[in-house]
Amino acid sequence: MTNDFALTLLHWFRENGRDLPWRQTRDPYAIWLSEIILQQTQVKQGWAYWERFMRRWPTVEQLAEASEDEVLREWQGLGYYSRARNLHFAAKQIVALGGFPTTIEGIKGLKGVGDYTAAAIGSIAFDLPAAVVDGNVYRVLSRHFGISTPINSTEGKKEFALLAQDLLLPALDKKGMGAGLYNQAIMDFGAIQCTPASPDCMNCPLMESCVAFRKGRVAELPVKLKTLKVQERRLTYVYIRYQGETAIHRRGEGDIWQGLYEPLLIENGEFSVLNSCVPPVASDQRSSAQLIKKNVKHVLTHRILWTDFYLWEPAERPQLPEDYFWIKEAELDDYAKPRLIEILLDSLTL
């Protein structure tokens, strides 16, 4: 049964697999870059970013020599910026090692690389016999084999990892090659055929052996425990405009958007920390500040942000709080910013 499953997927992949640029190479750098970009990003969005990075830094050595600000700037718009910081750090690791690691454990030693990413890179670049288990794979396996174990439980992770590895073995040829092809096949099958919503069951080559289809459980699987508690935060941003300049600062460690830039921030009404600047929204000068946007909702994985956005054009240059500095408005695009800030700035006439 496992042999039929693997061979069916490989046949389907030959007819329906996606033609992606990072599949035209065995360069581990290009493959690693694609996997990091696609960790939290759809292919149609990540494709352009992969091409942009490959044009600017065609080798890992060149990426390692870039500054973190440059990398974050190229990453702007993709979100989950820790991926970009990890990418840059790992590039330096690879250079220090003298080349890309060629074992699963070695690849997992790179910053930001876990079991799935290591298996994907190792199998595609080096034909290492390691099975990938991502959201697509969880979905395909849970439906086809009728597995109700929650995919985000400790038990579920072990169960699916063992099953995925068992299913990979029949796909290998006599020389032990073919893991990369099989891994790409099952990932594409989940992305194209066995989709989260409205899967194409009636045209599925695995329909007859699919437990979820036979028992009418396709919509129920996979099972995932609800463990995430979403928190809400309220932010107020004040864009200061003074004689063609504006004030920004770089976010520090230990919070969202580490290393990215933003305008003057007031959070949860804590205006007292900005007394030296006396932002108009916190004083009797309120009328001199123009409210540009109110209650802008921005959803992150763990948080919902509610944001008000003001424009302040003071008559005199205000004193800035610590860590803020002046730049020319025309230079704003030189600084990597969170997507929320991009949205807010789009409402201004710069």
Asked if the structure places residue 350 within a domain, the reply is no
**What's the mean pLDDT in 264-268?**
81
* Known catalytic membership, residue 35: yes
Residue 20 burial (C-beta neighbours within 10 Å; 0-12, 13-18, 19+)? middle
Asked if the structure places residue 304 within a domain, the reply is yes
Task: With 0.95 as the threshold, say if the pTM is over it.
Answer: no
pLDDT of residue 256: 83
pLDDT (tens digit per residue) in 226-251: 876 788 989 999 999 999 999 999 99
3-state secondary structure 25-59: CCCHHHHHHHHHHCCCCCHHHHHHHHHHHHHHCCC
- Which amino acid appears at position 323 of this protein? D
Phi, psi of 251, deg, nearest 5: -70, 140
pLDDT (tens digit per residue) in 274-284: 444 544 444 44
pLDDT (tens digit per residue) in 319-349: 888 889 999 999 999 999 999 999 999 998 7
Tokens of 235: 């932010």
pLDDT of residue 300: 85
pLDDT of residue 169: 87
Sequence-distant (6+) residues with CB within 8 A of 121 are 28, 31, 32, 35, 107, 113
pLDDT of residue 175: 66
pLDDT of residue 271: 44
Question: Which range is least confidently modeled, 1-10, 27-36, 146-155?
Answer: 1-10
Given a cut of 90, whether residue 290 has pLDDT beyond it is no
Given a cut of 50, whether residue 81 has pLDDT beyond it is yes
Separation CA 71–CA 33 (nearest Å): 12
Looking at the fold, whether 189 and 250 belong to one and the same domain comes out as no
pLDDT of residue 277: 52
Give residue 277's domain range: 231-345
Looking at the fold, whether 155 and 285 belong to one and the same domain comes out as no
Domain boundary among 158, 190, 220: 220
Asked if the structure places residue 226 within a domain, the reply is no
Q: Give the active site residue among 35, 74, 159, 262.
A: 35
Asked if the structure places residue 117 within a domain, the reply is yes
How many structural domains comprise the chain?
Answer: 2
Given a cut of 90, whether residue 302 has pLDDT beyond it is no
pLDDT (tens digit per residue) in 162-209: 999 999 988 887 666 799 999 999 999 999 999 999 999 999 999 999
Question: What is the residue-averaged pLDDT of the chain?
Answer: 90
